[in-house]
Chains A and B, each alone.
Chain A
Amino acid sequence: TQLLEQSPQFLSIQEGENLTVYCNSSSVFSSLQWYRQEPGEGPVLLVTVVTGGEVKKLKRLTFQFGDARKDSSLHITAAQPGDTGLYLCAGAPSSNTGKLIFGQGTTLQVKP
């Protein structure tokens, strides 16, 4: 069974600080997606990374897919209170299926 482990599970920081969330597995994924989920709502797609070593930037968010396609990271620069929320990584074991394996999520709190 493929697993994705996210760390840390909880993170509380001050506005303006930088942070990194990690998503690790012993298995290879054909792609990896990062989502943000608000309470009672569906996951909202932030980014998809497909190629090993790929780096994508979305304003203050930087996403990286590991060279071996087994891990990924999300780095937020100068966090703001609006970044508060649950961040999920989800990996696709195969390019032939839409099955995603989700991590348990990282709850981020950014205090003003």
Chain B
Amino acid sequence: EPEVTQTPSHQVTQMGQEVILRCVPISNHLYFYWYRQILGQKVEFLVSFYNNEISEKSEIFDDQFSVERPDGSNFTLKIRSTKLEDSAMYFCASSGRDRGHTIYFGEGSWLTVV
């Protein structure tokens, strides 16, 4: 069964460093997302991406964050200068043409900022 894959599964980084989280969405999907979950809290929407541009972003997704689809398969989330409060599990997700109806999540990348 097709799945969303994410790398790395776990990354530890120093405060102020740049981090890139990578994702390979399901191959025939058109819409891509990043969500995050701080330990013990709800899953929160960060950004949605369609047709090579951001279609919606949350208040969390400030200028420190950016997304990119550098080729036909990868989808990345970059955090330019990490802060302690960026420590969280980051989930990539994708959906097909019926977006908003069926969204599939990856296993997550656990980011620890020290």
Contacts and interface: CB of A to CB of B under 8 A. Distances in A.
B9 to A, nearest CB: 9
Interface string A94-112: 1111111111110000000
Interface stretch (B13-21, B65-73, B76-84, B95-103): B95-103
A103 B42 contact: yes
A45 B55 CA distance: 23
Interface residues of B, number: 27
Contacts of B55: 97-98
Majority DSSP secondary structure for residues of B touching A: strand
B75 interface: no
B3 to A, nearest CB: 9
A82 interface: no
Interface of B: 4, 31, 33, 35, 42-45, 48, 55-56, 58, 89, 91, 93, 95, 99-108, 110
11 contacts: A31-B100, A35-B105, A40-B108, A42-B4, A42-B91, A42-B107, A48-B102, A88-B43, A94-B100, A98-B31, A98-B95
List the 5 shortest-distance A-B pairs measured between CB atoms, nearest first. Answer: A42-B105, A92-B100, A102-B43, A98-B99, A98-B48
